[in-house]
Chain A
């Protein structure tokens, strides 16, 4: 709201995911692949293995064309894209960490130079000097990872920075070390995985087999070590955030599961490639790369999911509002906006005052400045889809908008604005589809739960919905007629008597099923 919001119909978030996903997959390769080049060169020279050396030369070209061109440009691409999508976050990260970025730039510059000289030096330099360039490349590439890792982990676990605003407190934050080891491990695995791509194009079956086995030495141990570092990493993340990946937030949970599955799939495919290494086909090596890409992207998705509603945890929300008021915040905090009004505070809106006629138009602008950093109207994470899925009518929608911040382990910031503005937002979102859902004559308990409760309660026996709902069915049905009376911050959903009955019955069957299996 401080900055204009770029309206991308299909969801700016997807664009970000695309650029960042591709970049991460190549830039990690750029680190591990550097070590791979130099150690493979040494190995080949030690064994006087001219064939392996010839392949490595070819592989170097592939490496440089991928990392120096695509890796570097997509890295700039992340800057461009976050600047377009989250200018406030970018501006903060720049001002807090310019010197970090500047240091990383020095390494980057040396890294690119070394990569090019290593490539062009294959036919030109003495082996010793050539290897020296390989080492320079690897050391500088690793150093840029050392720097960038501090800033990325800062966003998830800013640690003491929140209190003292000291560069190093945020940089060497609680997840710094595990994340670095985790990422380095990934980069070594990727070195092996990428080597299979050029290996699979080799005609000489025996050479191919040798490269495939050598690649596996990089891949298999790294993949096996990865869970260890992942575990350490997860242990260093505050539990409150991590539960998002353990069921409290659907997206985070799905991607955590997917990451595990694809990681297993990656290992499996590597093992498959080892069955007949001399016959490795390009299609298998590409499949392996795609699966590994999926695994890695899923991990990045988990990281971003559990960070929500923040971009910088406990400092800045994804929709560019500051978590706590502070000097220089420009009034962009939930507290301030809730009293001053979003239409009055936001810089980039046209409808400054609400009238009878501009409800939908103003609501649309409110949606743009407050929600669109994570949602679209009809497409990626579209509100339209949610409303249809949950069968909400206008009243329920309105009630739910007031309690967004409780949903899915607090995945969203609190709505910031006046009551009149909430009405306008609700009017706009309601206009996205027809708001008269079919009235169900025989409601199903599970469906009632999913449509009305599942955004804040999980369908698991230890959730308070199950433990604290009155045991006596009739008492429960009566109690449910006013959720706020049960717990003050719950939304006032007007459930019909039939719905309440069905729900209570379903809750009861869940409980007894639970009791039958002996708890847990």
Chain B
């Protein structure tokens, strides 16, 4: 029998802003993190695919290098956007998150080493380029594999953080922090759900790249579009299998929140499924009609919405998992107004300034960039 009193007591400090503020920030920044991660990982996987599938063909290699060049930047984005949810998850779920991290401490710590290695590998690829074609392919494969492992460790830790009942047995059989959460029935489908999404969203990333090159070199852009669009299509279609596998691997009580027991969760699931279907039809129409705008604008917006929906569902699922141990009302709230407002102002100004930077860099003026 698990003793619920083993769940650590949160520290005595009140929340420095209302609960929902952190909830909102957590869900939104997590969605951004996962999008960036998808661009990075999906981009890397599709770059590798392009390289293998069209061996020797001009475009395959070209796509590989064009996409690979951008991966390090997306890695930077993944990490930078990962810090925010890392902060907010600790604000709201520290007692679960720290505990599960400690139970898988070594793999969790290893994430850092893997991230550094993968990151330098991606930079190696983007700097060496054609000069060392063979080596670059291997390094790219190596780094991408590391990223896949990182994602796996994440899913291990986060699934464990939601099931306190599994903690004691795990800890008392070994306190050294080696080991993962492999006995968790949702582990594999959940992980595959994330990784397949990475391929789909990575496909969209390729569509966006193709769009930016459409005017300059349509034939080449079309090749990228085809690759990215199809990747999106197949990946999203397979989500209907993987997603339902995930849903049915959940304990019954939790599954039911998406199947009627909780109206918000159920509507979000319906919405998410419809959005996925719509995006599939849109993408296949766009591919058939060679309509890059539809793919780049339409499918991307629908998918962005879908990612946000799924992130919210993920949060509702966590709440359901933790229901016996966690009660949002437990938090005392004492808003620290001045630092909170400073954050809000800086955040808004920061986002605006960020766009100014991109603009000054010439990212939005295609002609200028083309001159160089």
Chain A interfacial positions (CB closer than 8 Å to B): 2-9, 15, 19, 65, 68-70, 72-74, 76-77, 79-81, 83-84, 87-88, 90-92, 94-96, 98-103, 105-110, 112-114, 116-117, 121, 123-125, 129, 132-133, 136, 165, 167-168, 322, 326-330, 332, 347-348, 350, 368
Contact = CB atoms under 8 A, between A and B. Distances in A.
Contact of A73 (B16, B97, B115, B172): B115
A80 B109 contact: yes
Given A84-B102, A121-B361, A167-B336, A110 B350 contact: yes
B176 interface: yes
A1 to B, nearest CB: 9
Interface of B: 5-17, 22, 25, 73, 76, 79-84, 86-88, 90-91, 94-95, 97-99, 101-103, 105, 108-109, 111-112, 115-116, 119-120, 123, 167, 171-172, 175-177, 332, 336, 338-340, 342-343, 346-347, 350, 353-354, 357-358, 360-362, 372
B6 A91 contact: no
Given A4-B103, A6-B177, A76-B79, A114 B87 contact: no
Given A95-B15, A95-B91, A4 B10 contact: no
Given A3-B102, A65-B120, A102-B87, 19 more contacts: A7-B176, A73-B79, A73-B119, A83-B101, A95-B14, A99-B16, A102-B84, A105-B87, A106-B347, A109-B80, A114-B357, A116-B76, A124-B361, A322-B12, A328-B9, A328-B11, A328-B12, A348-B171, A350-B172
Of A3, A70, A74, A165, most B-chain CB atoms within 10 Å = A3
A103 B15 CA distance: 16
A99 B109 contact: no
Nearest to A77: B112
A132 B360 contact: yes
B372 to A, nearest CB: 5
The interface residues of chain A, by DSSP majority, are classed as helix
A473 B190 CA distance: 77
Given A101-B87, A109-B350, A109-B354, A95 B11 contact: yes
Contacts of A79: 86
A362 B123 CA distance: 51
A102 B11 CA distance: 19
A392 to B, nearest CB: 27
Contacts of B177: 6-8, 84
A361 to B, nearest CB: 12
B91 A98 contact: yes
A80 B175 contact: no
Contact of B9 (A90, A110, A167, A330): A330
30 contacts: A4-B102, A6-B105, A6-B176, A65-B123, A68-B76, A72-B76, A79-B86, A80-B101, A80-B112, A83-B97, A83-B98, A87-B98, A87-B102, A88-B11, A91-B90, A98-B16, A98-B88, A99-B336, A99-B343, A108-B80, A110-B350, A110-B354, A113-B358, A116-B76, A121-B361, A124-B372, A168-B339, A328-B12, A329-B12, A368-B175
B338 A167 contact: yes
